[in-house]
Each structure stands twice: as structure tokens, then as C-alpha cells.
Structure 1
Amino acid sequence: MLNLKSILAASAACLAFGMAAWAEDRPALTADSVLASVNGIDITLGQMITVRDNLPPEYAALPDDVMFNGLLEQLIQQTALSQIGEGRMTKRDEIALEVQRRAYLANSLLAYTADHAVSEEAVLKAYDEKFGQTEPREYHAAHILVDSPEQAAMLRSKLDEGADFAELAKENSSDGAASQGGDLGWFALTDMVEPFAEAVAKMKEGEIAGPVQTRFGWHLIKLVETRIAEAPTIEEARDRLEGDLRQQAVEKRMSEVLENAKIERMVEGIDPAVLKDSTILGQ
């Protein structure tokens, strides 16, 4: 794998030559502007910008000339090597490229969907729905989380017989709150997964509910107390509201796409362990 750090360091030594090629009368640059050619294969400005946009944040502080020359050298090396690699493509390589292509297109669509879900109007509407209609309430609860409904039912029986909730949580709960007797502290209902939040919303202080199933397992819940929370300002809530809008848009898009897609599964009789047999891909 090409080491961009090494390429950038090497290119820094010849910067004086790199930028001299830019003539004052050069035509306006576009994504298709050719900046180099390797055996007749063009390297364009658009390709360089794409690579730069996907670099880790640590590269952002590099001087423009160091970045430019380093990326150009990287793409020259990649292009030269890829021409040889293309001549020895295997079935494994073809499959890997197709998987990467599908993943890129899927992620690109979801990113587009998320970005276009956020607008000032949408944020204001979400804020009003979340904080403007009712007084926000916070909840203080504890829970016992276990893996099976049978264990949850057994522990519920003990609680009904008068067992101490905190002690049972310390002895049986499988999450990080166990050491605190299952205490979850204060939270808003929106902080919790829906089945858990729905159960808490219906409870009275001191009441125990459950078992309640979520994707994490089976919960027994004790509501300690509730209080009216001070609503945050829109700027304080903005990041979270925007995150919610993005997530909701992505989930809606996924649901719509799958609902409208013609999906056929041909997996009857196939042993799932076949995934471990990498010899199927060949050499």
C-alpha cells in the first residue's frame, strides 16, 4: 500500500519545480483538467481533489504546495502500478472491486439523503416538536439487563417477593450500570431506545416494569423519580436535532428503497459456514 506520508515528505524537496509549470495563461481549470499522464492514462484535477477530500484530518494543516505535489506523486505511482495490476486481475480482484463500487454508491446516496434532510426550517420544526409543545421531562431510573426472557421472569418474581432491586442488578445485570445497582441516572426519553422509553413513560415513581425487550436484551426497570427539565436553546440543541434529522432521513430512505426493490433470496439449503471457505474465490 502506498505511504502518503513518505510521498509528501519526498515531494517537499522539489516544490520549486512543481509549481513553476503553472502558466499565467493556462485555461480555467475543471474536474477534467489533466495534470499528468502515465503511459497514456490521464490523472485529472478532479481525481486529486477526490483523494484530498477523503484524507484523514491530520493532513489538513499541510501547506497547499506540499499537499498538491504529494497527491500528484501518489496518483502517478498508483496509476503506474494499477496498469500492471489490471493485467493480472483475478476473480477475487473483480469481486472486491464490485463490492467496493456498490458500497461507495450506497454510502454516497445515504450521505446525500442525510445532507438534504437538514435545513433551517427542518431544524426549527424539530425543535418546536421536541421542546415547544410540552414541558420537557427527565427521568431517573435503574434497570437490570439480562440475555433471556426466562432469566428476566425469574428476577421479576424475586422482585415481586421483595428482593432488593439494586442488589439483583449488581449480581445479574450485564451492562456497565450493574456496579451502581443498575442506576442509569437522569435521562430524556429520547435518549433511550423506543421500547424502553415507552415503558418508562407509562410508569409511576417507585414502580417496577418489565420484562421489556430491546435490541440489547431483556430489561427490568425501576422508575426512581421524574422532574421538569429546562429546555435547551435551539443552538444548544442544534447538533442533536440535525443528527436526528439525518438519521430519520436515512432510515426512511432505507425503508422505501427496500420496500420498492424486488428482492429474491436463494439461500435454501446453504450452510452459513461456507463464508469461511475463501478457496471459492480462487487465487
Structure 2
Amino acid sequence: MAIFARLMQGVALGAVCALGLAAPLAAQDATADTVVASVNGTDITLGHMIVLRASLPEQYQQLPDDALFNGILEQLIQQTALEQSVADAITKRDTLALENDRRGYLSGVALQDVVSAAITDEALQAAYDARFKDAAPQTEYNASHILVAEEARAIELKAEIDGGADFAELAIANSTDGAAAGGGSLGWFGLGMMVKPFEDAVVAMQPGEVVGPLQTQFGWHLVKLNETRIAEAPPLDALREELAAEIEQATVEAHVKGLTDAATITRPGIGIDPALLRDQTLLDK
């Protein structure tokens, strides 16, 4: 794409204007096989240009069609000339790389329609229902804490709280973590989001209760449970991309398995030393 970037930087207004001097081919007369240039007898078609344009990064997709046309055509002309310059010097390495590129591209083509057909609104709804329809209600917790380095200091602060001191004010003045500025508030969280000793304490508490000191790898905590709630399932739209990715993965795995199960596959390479993967000299033989 670096070649294309340099070409686009060099597309001058004069070149665009010159293109406009020729009578444009009517859209209804053009086909993918319409020849737009020829390099030593090798044709470059409108189809080649359309495919290349579709593969460009978004920043180039936004360029005006007339400027983009020139840049794409010049890139294809230069690539064709470069290709011809090494046509008689293709190495084994080059041939194998081209075979891998073709294999990779066509494998993507083979999956594209299968995946597109699988990701439907009905499939997304079914995946959503499977995840949440029979799921047990999940409790979420809203808690605050005061974190200090020494147990003795945590005990002193707990005595102050028991004596009526405000938890949030003590957190602002004493807690050593980032939640201190917010009065120690940790917001809402579900199971599995906090370290085990902290989570176990919160689950066993009643709203308004303060417990501690309890120790984690971060230090000594005083914990206040503010409130609890039953978490609602997120809307389908919030999970659409995630569910689509799951459907895609399952579809790809099933399709590939079906093809490979039905194929006649031999593996004569079993027993080859894996270290040979690093032997670049084999490509020169």
C-alpha cells in the first residue's frame, strides 16, 4: 500500500483535468472486462481496478473518484511492469508464497457466504435466548472500602466507624488506592470481579454493614456494602457483535470440520523433524 500512497501524493490537478478531456465511457457500456490499460500486451481491466479499490484502507476510500481512478490505474500499471520484470526469475520461494496467498484468499472466499448466511437476526435472537432465557438471576453488589497497609491502622479506623465516624470521609482521608477520592466507592460489580477474600466478605454482608479488617494481596480492607440488586440481562443490541462472533466461530468450525471429514487426507509428512521449518536453505534447492 506504500506504492499507492506515493502515487496518490503525486496525482496532480493537471492529470485529473487531462483525464476529463477524454470522453468518459458510458457507465452502461462498461463491464468488468473493459480494458483500461495495457502493459507490453498484458491487459488491465476495470474489474482489476474495482477489486483493488475495494481492498483499500478507509482513508483512501474517501478520495474523489477521479483522483482515486488515476492512483489505482497507475498502481496497477507499475505493478504489472514490475511483475513482468521478474517473470523469468520466479524462484521456488516465490511460487510457494503465491500458492499460499491463493490458498488463503480462496479459503476466505469459501467461508464468506457460509458465515453471512449463518448470522441472521433469528440466529442472533436464538443465541441471546440460549444465554439468558434459563439463566439464574445474578446479584450485583455496590460496595466501598478503605485500604491501608497496616492491620493496626485498619483496626483503629474500624473503631472510629463503629463509634459513628463517616465511612466516606475516612476513606478520603486514609485510603491508599484510587477509590479514595470517591469516598472509597467501588461502584457496582458482580461475582468474579473482585479478589476472593473481598468477594466472600461482600457476599456474606447485609446492606449498610461494615466488616474488616480483611487482608488481600493489596493490603488491609474495611468494607462497606452499600446495596445489592438483581442484574438485568443486557439488551440484545449490546451483545450483537459478541454473539455474531460466537456464531461465526461455531459456523466456521462446523463447516471446516464437515469439509475435512469428507475429504481424503493423507499425512506423509508425519515424522519429519519440526526443526526443518527453520531451514530456509531448502527453498533454494
TM-score (norm 1): 0.64
Measure, in 2, the Cα distance between the counterparts of 1:28 and 1:136: 63
Measure, in 1, the Cα distance between the counterparts of 2:134 and 2:21: 63
What residue is the counterpart of 1:236 in the other structure?
238
In the alignment, residue 270 of structure 1 is paired with which amino acid? Answer: I
Greater CA deviation, 93-102 or 56-65? Answer: 56-65
Measure, in 1, the Cα distance between the counterparts of 2:94 and 2:54: 25
> For the structure 1 residues 69 and 128, does the alpha-carbon distance in structure 2 shift closer, same or farther, using more than 3 Å as the test?
same
> For the structure 1 residues 24 and 96, does the alpha-carbon distance in structure 2 shift closer, same or farther, using more than 3 Å as the test?
closer
**4+ residue runs over 6 A deviation:** none
**Gap regions ≥5 residues in structure 2:** 142-188, 193-202, 205-227
What residue is the counterpart of 2:10 in the other structure?
10
Aligned residues of 2:16 and 2:67 also touching (Cα < 8 A): yes
Asked if 1:277 corresponds to 2:279, the answer is: yes
> For the structure 1 residues 132 and 84, does the alpha-carbon distance in structure 2 shift closer, same or farther, using more than 3 Å as the test?
same
What residue is the counterpart of 1:258 in the other structure?
260
Aligned residues of 1:38 and 1:76 also touching (Cα < 8 A): yes
Task: Give the share of equivalent positions with the same residue, in percent.
Answer: 42
Superposition pairs of residues 1-283 of structure 1, within 5 angstroms: 3-13=3-13, 14-23=15-24, 25=26, 27-135=28-136, 137=138, 186=190, 228-282=230-284
Matched residue SS, 2:10: helix
Matched residue SS, 2:43: strand
**Gap regions ≥5 residues in structure 1:** 141-184, 189-204, 207-225
**Can you list the C-alpha shifts for 1:23-75, whole angstroms capped at 9, x where unaligned?**
36565222222111111111111111111111222222222222111011000
Aligned residues of 1:138 and 1:186 also touching (Cα < 8 A): yes
- Which protein shows a greater Rg? 2
Aligned residues of 1:135 and 1:229 also touching (Cα < 8 A): no
Matched residue SS, 2:86: helix
Q: How many aligned positions are there?
A: 204
> For the structure 1 residues 24 and 255, does the alpha-carbon distance in structure 2 shift closer, same or farther, using more than 3 Å as the test?
closer
Greater CA deviation, 21-30 or 102-111? Answer: 21-30
In the alignment, residue 240 of structure 1 is paired with which amino acid? Answer: E
Aligned residues of 2:92 and 2:284 also touching (Cα < 8 A): yes
Matched residue SS, 1:251: helix
Q: CA RMSD in A?
A: 2.8
> For the structure 1 residues 88 and 121, does the alpha-carbon distance in structure 2 shift closer, same or farther, using more than 3 Å as the test?
same
Aligned residues of 1:131 and 1:231 also touching (Cα < 8 A): yes
Measure, in 2, the Cα distance between the counterparts of 1:136 and 1:247: 28
**Can you list the C-alpha shifts for 1:210-264, whole angstroms capped at 9, x where unaligned?**
xxxxxxxxxxxxxxxx984311222222222222211211111122122222221
In the alignment, residue 31 of structure 2 is paired with which amino acid? Answer: T
Deviation of the 1:272 alpha carbon: 1.2
Measure, in 2, the Cα distance between the counterparts of 1:234 and 1:129: 12
